[in-house]
Amino acid sequence: MARKKLETLTEQMYYVLLALSGPPRHGYGIMQAVSERTQGRVNVGAGTLYALLGRFETKGLIRQAAAHDVRKYYVLTDAGRRALVKEYQRLKRQVEDGQDILEGGTAP
């Protein structure tokens, strides 16, 4: 199955980790942060988010920072930050690889 080992991230996974790169957030806060960051282009469903948070926590990419009113707050771990940066750089290289061709008119 694709992404079984979280080697590459889906768009939703990327933005969830991005939302946790700052202060701790709870589940709905993550959903709101992703929607605001992408201006509504990317929306993570509650069920999808719950599953992703479980996977990330199992893989050590995030950890629980606190719990208020039965809501858990999460934050990136060092491993999570490295995974996020790695994905960011991968996406950046993809954009750079296509930039010259698609915007500069250079033949592949």
Partner 1 sequence: MKTCWRPFSYLIIHRQAAQDRLNAMAEQGWELEKIRFECLAKFRRTSRKHLRYFVDFTDPKPKDPCEESEYLRLCADAGWEWVEQMSYWNIYASAPDRDPAPIQTDPEVEYQRYRKKVGRRSWIGVAIVAAILAVYALLMLPAFGRPYSPTAGELLRGLLSSSLSLPLILAALPLFLLWGLVYLIVLGHRLRLWRRDVEDGLPLSAPSPRQAGVLGGVKLVCLLLIGGYFLLLPLDSLLNGVVNWGFPVGLLIGAAILVFSDRYKGLPQYRRRARAAAVFSVILLACMLFRGPARALFPGRLPPGPIVAGFEDDDPGKRTDGLLGSHANWWEKILPTEEEGPWGLVSVQAWTWTSDAAADWAFALEDLQGMEETAPGLWRQDWGEDQVDLLLRRGRTWVRVYWHGDEALDRQALAEALERYLER
Question: How many other β-carbons are positioned within 10 Å of the β-carbon of residue 7?
Answer: 11
Tokens 């490295």 appear where? 82
Interface pick for partner 1 out of 36, 37, 51, 98 (rule CB under 8 A)? 51
Contact between 92 and partner 1 per CB under 8 A: no
Q: What contacts 23, CB < 8 A, 6 or more positions away? A: 75
68 binds partner 1 (CB under 8 A): no
- 12 near partner 1, rule: CB under 8 A: yes
User: How far apart are CB 28 and partner 1 at their closest, in Å?
Assistant: 4
The residue within the footprint of partner 1, chosen from 10, 21, 38, 77 (CB under 8 A), is 10
Size of the chain, expressed as the number of residues it contains: 108
